[in-house]
Structure 1
Amino acid sequence: MSEVARNARKSTTIGDLPNRILHTILEFMPIQDAGRTSVLSKKWMHIWSTLPHLVFGPLSFKYVSNIGASAATIIHKILMQHTGNNMGFHLISSTCKLAQSDVDQCIIFVSKHGIQKLTLDMANDENYMLPNRIFTCATLTHLKLSRCIFKLPDDTKFPNLISLQLEHSEIVNHQGSALYLSKLETLELTFCVDVDSVNMVSPKLVNLSILSSYTVTFECFNVNPILERIKHLCFDGSSLKNLGSVPVPDMLDVSLNLQSLRICDFKISVKRISCALCLLRNSPNLVELGIDEVVKVDETIRHTDELLDYLSEAVNEVIEALRMIRTVRLTKFKGTTTEMYLIKVMLAHSPELERVIIEKRNATYIPHLKELLSYHRASPNAEIKYT
């Protein structure tokens, strides 16, 4: 038998795969199951102890609860046994609680061991106060926090942070403090408190998501260089409501750099539509518009007629607003009269439109499909697609 044939007959096992692939496989497993692989062999002990991303998720905390152990003790033990860099460390549970001191020890430990991605989302009765050390961690690039409190130390830098996601969090005692995020590209704020008056310096920010957090006004777009510079913006109906609480300007003082705009929970009214048109008209580079769940504020005949009359009279504003749009994406589509009319308007006044992507709320048949396909299209290339 030739050497090639003998080699071909040798059996291969999962343990023969490269370490980076084995790490990836273990990261998809609950951490308690990944830990059990350490008893297989000396190689598997090495694989386990050098796992770059440690994820303590709901299944891990449920396992700890079932065996009657202390979550903090087990997490501490795993960290002490770990011999490689902690590139990712994630604490996620909607039921388990950890003491402030236990979380502090975890964050301080991983900040000394090459942490790049950190997630903290625990179900404590009181929000966590972040330890000061995390603000100057040079290796941290992605930070996702829920139910946390920021108390900004002087000259907060986050020197290499690229993505910051805050949910149900609060920044306190920030008067006179500056948050320097020189490399930040993505900022997401969801149900946050006291973040709108923070002096944030983020020259590279291009993605901004604001959901029920930030008090957005037209003045913000005029004076805040962050909003003037961003390329991708997502906000919800409450932000449009805030915009509509003041007279809607014909044009802003600045031209926005938006390439895509996504509006969530779009509660339609004449005021909100006029606010949206103002933003679109001031965004000459906007090519993608997303609307996540259209909700009619008032379905009475009077209000419906008021909306239709406004759109029919504001034809020039609509044409200007939609002049460069190439993609329209509607999610949670229900086929209501209001949604149908919006699609009709966008098809009729978007000369560059290439696709309207409709993501249905469920898999049921849309009774108005033939009507949608019959609408006049300003662009000969416009297609309607369902996902």
Structure 2
Amino acid sequence: MESEFGPKDFISMMPDNVVNNILHRLPLQEAVRTGILSRNWRFKWTMLSEVVCDANFFAYLIERRGENSFGMIASRLLLHFNDAITKFFLDLTLLNVEDILHLIMFVSNKGIKDLTLEYWTRPHVNLPTHIFSCLELQHLRISGCCFNPPSGVRGFPNLLSLKLCCVEFGGGDLGGFITRCPLPEILKLDYISYSGSSVKLAEIAKLENLKILSFPLCHLEATSSCNVFELMGCLPKLQELSLDFQDYNLTQGGAIKQFTTAFPDLKAFKITSIKFGNGIMLSRVLEIIRHFPNLQTLEFIAVQQADDPFPISIPIPNPEVEYNMMELESVEFRNFRGLENEVYFIKYFLACSPSLKKIHIVWDFKLEPVEQLFHAKKLLKLHRASPVAEIDFGF
């Protein structure tokens, strides 16, 4: 369309909210390049409140600038942002310690609310203590770094979600640090390396708002063989739960502790590093599952027992367990080997889940095709309470 003064410049006339919407959908390097569109667009990209410096961003810098200027270029870009940066994703892998310090210092003064830091090479880099001055943080995700809260650190009073994956946790007091973040609805501690004092049940119990929890049980204080049940009793609002049994030892002594109430809000349950050759562990897990009446998705990731390359199946205690009806819709078994106890669990879920749609089985990589076929035929013959339930086999 043309006016009496010539064609209209629609690009320059776009309102800021439309421009912002466009820029937030572009990779950072492409958002910066929009400055060539017109004089009016030259610094539009500085309105961004969400910045992503990921592997693709640094690959672009390598292609255009060489391999020694990552931190300097990223720092110069960020200096153009005058407004708050509320969300920041930073891949630390190609940055040196000084660059990391400068970038964390910068965003700590920008009102950051959502921060993701990733570092996937070894040795892991130590995060600068400036991260603990980001008191407005609501979401923090750290992967593959050394996370060392100094003694007496205030914590993150506004944090709603904390996710630590493959992190070396220093600081000596994981439970104490967690309690200094009193508001989280999401807490995920996956594959963390930690040699300090164990997390106490009382510390977990203070997180009254938790809806999603992923926790390695080996870091839980070993007050008794029933502490898994005590942990669950502290968190009645949970909707999703993931428990890692790696290096977690259970003993036979004592009766299995019963829950006093069911947990109707819990919809998803994931069990990692479960040993299907350990009848004690399985009895505890089954007792937990039976108290989740509205559970919809369930996932098992099995691990082979380190002290027995070919573990012998151990019958699950209390063979007269009642088949309580469940709301399960999806079940997944990973590293399935066809042990007697694995078949028992599948038989149980098929029999007590009238709403079940699929059981997905991922074979253990050591299982030969002939063995896979044998176990598949056996499982496909099992009775199903659901008329639409399927058993799907994959890798």
TM-score, with normalisation over the residues of structure 2? Answer: 0.74
Q: 1:118-267 counterparts in 2 under 5 A?
A: 118-122=115-119, 123=121, 125-131=123-129, 134=132, 137-138=135-136, 140-146=137-143, 147-152=145-150, 154=152, 156-167=154-165, 168-174=167-173, 177=176, 179-192=179-192, 193=194, 194=196, 196-197=198-199, 199=203, 201-211=206-216, 214-215=219-220, 218-219=226-227, 221-222=229-230, 226-227=234-235, 229-238=237-246, 242-245=248-251, 247=253, 249-252=255-258, 255=261, 257=263, 258-267=266-275
Please tell me the residue identity of whatever aligns with 2:239: K
Q: Deviations over 1:149-202 (max 9, x none)?
A: 232553724222111011213141449956332321111112221374374642
Q: CA deviation at 1:295?
A: 4.8
In 1: Cα distance, 2:155 partner to 2:260 partner: 28
In 2: Cα distance, 1:43 partner to 1:124 partner: 45
More helix by share: 1
Gaps of 5+ in 1: 4-8
Paired residue total: 360
Paired residue for 1:19? 19
In 1: Cα distance, 2:281 partner to 2:175 partner: 34
Residues 293/106 of structure 1: CA separation in 2 closer, same or farther (3 Å cut): same
Gaps of 5+ in 2: 2-6
Q: Deviations over 1:329-386 (max 9, x none)?
A: 21547684655553223212x1554333416569x9x856665454212x34552264
Determine what percentage of the aligned residue pairs are the same residue.
Answer: 21
Please tell me the residue identity of whatever aligns with 1:203: E
In 1: Cα distance, 2:116 partner to 2:197 partner: 19
Would you say 1:384 and 2:390 are equivalent positions?
yes
In 2: Cα distance, 1:233 partner to 1:19 partner: 40
Residues 254/177 of structure 1: CA separation in 2 closer, same or farther (3 Å cut): same
DSSP 3-state at the match of 1:242: coil
Residues 253/64 of structure 1: CA separation in 2 closer, same or farther (3 Å cut): same
Would you say 1:354 and 2:356 are equivalent positions?
yes
In 2: Cα distance, 1:276 partner to 1:88 partner: 38
Q: Deviations over 1:30-55 (max 9, x none)?
A: x3343222222234334311222211
CA contact (8 A) 1:205 1:229 kept: yes
Residues 11/149 of structure 1: CA separation in 2 closer, same or farther (3 Å cut): closer
Paired residue for 2:4? none
Q: 1:51-70 counterparts in 2 under 5 A?
A: 51-65=48-62, 67-70=66-69
Paired residue for 1:89? 88
Among candidates 324, 327, 334, match of residue 326 of structure 2: 324
In 2: Cα distance, 1:295 partner to 1:191 partner: 14
CA contact (8 A) 1:210 1:236 kept: yes
In 2: Cα distance, 1:141 partner to 1:237 partner: 29
Paired residue for 1:6? none
CA contact (8 A) 1:235 1:262 kept: yes
In 1: Cα distance, 2:271 partner to 2:228 partner: 17
In 1: Cα distance, 2:213 partner to 2:312 partner: 32
